[in-house]
Structure 1
């Protein structure tokens, strides 16, 4: 029932902190709990934020502080008996491109970001390092992890041009699979390809909710746990008219 449910948001809600506050405030009013990880868009720095954040890492920390102020979860927590939600920070690496696993000096991925680390070789490692403390907790029952970027090359994504170089990180999958439990789900964003299938005992789910590419403006949510067991189905949440 809406208002009692837990929502997972796997990033790329917006580009600025102010827009993020509006989006998360709206979602928090509709759901019992909201879990969130930032995507690449949230870590962009535009002219209005240049004086507030010296770099994208500072903005990441600012986003976490904002989530704390809003009551939005960005760290692991139990949501019901024997069910845990575990957010995982992530960034992409060119090694995800199996055919050409090297950075492209001519690529211009996320040029709006500004990092105090080497964006090609260090940012993804830094994100994974931040996750390590959470992987040591004694989770049991069902663990639902989620990230913005793809953790496996086996997951579907648009392979046009050099897209694979900015799509995911295979090392992230090691963290996903480190939970050696029977019931495991991983939700990911970034790709606009709907997907919900098991691989090596993990249910991987992408439920793109944008309006690009002809997606419905009132697309249903995707239910991954019904309070008793892992689920795998869309759930309609609204039947009224679309926005004018």
Structure 2
């Protein structure tokens, strides 16, 4: 009984959708889906219908694409609650559910799906919050969220992010270690390595979570969003970026199976607590 993870399936793209259909079964294992499955409820149902037939249990957290306002006009918190409802229809665990205790290979861990968003704080110290968007736009970088991710009823995505962080902190304080923390966005700014679009970092997380891996006793931290697969260690904690990505970001000859990341038990190759990244292409 193993725990796997993947994110950024982006099955709005037909290539990714067909690859998902070809994924073999792992009937005894659990799968973490760390956001950005798709941008519509229709495709979310499609993905969960296939994946729940292939794994014993799924855990899901939302990415920004799931939260986009579509043709149905559903926005913000209402859209998020609809996503949670679809997951519950398929028996999928979400950030709103009791955190399950993993008792499979790798030892007991609480699995913690999180929904935290971002607050534009992944920026240089000399850039103020008010100037963060303009700073990114100087290099022609504007996230699609600025047009399609409506935070209603919150005044801003930053306010929504802070509300979600406070909610999650209260719940995490009740849990004994060790934990597997699961979020779409990286929890640390130093793990956001965007070589072609570095100023996209402001849409990649919040500094409020920089020490959560220590503060809450994490053994592993799982995230996606960057479309740059890597394994890192900070303070002896393993950080896994588990994206698949758009068709240009992965090799279709391998199929999706090759891109499933084993979270528990820890693969032997990852037992050495080095400080640098282990890149995966």
**How far apart are the structure 1 equivalents of 2:243 and 2:175?**
31
Residue 186 (str. 1) matches residue 221 (str. 2): yes
Residue 70 (str. 1) matches residue 60 (str. 2): no
Residue 114 (str. 1) matches residue 140 (str. 2): no
**How far apart are the structure 2 equivalents of 1:101 and 1:146?**
29
TM-score, normalised with respect to structure 1 = 0.83
Between stretches 166-175 and 11-20, larger displacement belongs to 166-175
Residue 79 (str. 1) matches residue 108 (str. 2): no
Deviation, 1:40, is: 0.3
Deviations 1:191-224 (A, max 9, x none): 1111112101211001221243341221411112
**How far apart are the structure 2 equivalents of 1:24 and 1:130?**
26
Gaps (5+ residues) in structure 1? 235-244
**How far apart are the structure 1 equivalents of 2:128 and 2:214?**
23
**C-alpha distance 153-232 of structure 1, shift in aligned 2 (>3 A):** farther
What residue number does 1:18 align with? 42
TM-align CA RMSD = 2.2
What residue number does 1:224 align with? 263
- 8 Å CA contact 1:95–1:165 kept in 2: the answer is yes
**How far apart are the structure 1 equivalents of 2:208 and 2:87?**
26
Deviations 1:18-46 (A, max 9, x none): 11111112111111111110000000011
- 8 Å CA contact 2:61–2:184 kept in 1: the answer is yes
- Name the SS of the counterpart of 2:267 in structure 1: strand
- 8 Å CA contact 1:95–1:169 kept in 2: the answer is yes
**C-alpha distance 163-108 of structure 1, shift in aligned 2 (>3 A):** closer
What residue number does 1:149 align with? 185
What residue number does 1:6 align with? 30
Q: Where does 1:181-220 land on structure 2 (aligned, <5 Å)?
A: 184-217=219-252, 218-219=255-256, 220=258
Residue 93 (str. 1) matches residue 113 (str. 2): no
- Name the SS of the counterpart of 2:101 in structure 1: strand
TM-score, normalised with respect to structure 2 = 0.73
Between stretches 35-44 and 106-115, larger displacement belongs to 106-115
Deviations 1:85-121 (A, max 9, x none): 1111111121111253523156454111222223253
What residue number does 2:76 align with? 56
**C-alpha distance 9-233 of structure 1, shift in aligned 2 (>3 A):** farther
**How far apart are the structure 2 equivalents of 1:139 and 1:175?**
14
- Name the SS of the counterpart of 1:148 in structure 2: coil
**How far apart are the structure 2 equivalents of 1:92 and 1:209?**
21
Gaps (5+ residues) in structure 2? 2-25, 271-281
- 8 Å CA contact 1:187–1:205 kept in 2: the answer is yes
Higher helix share: 2
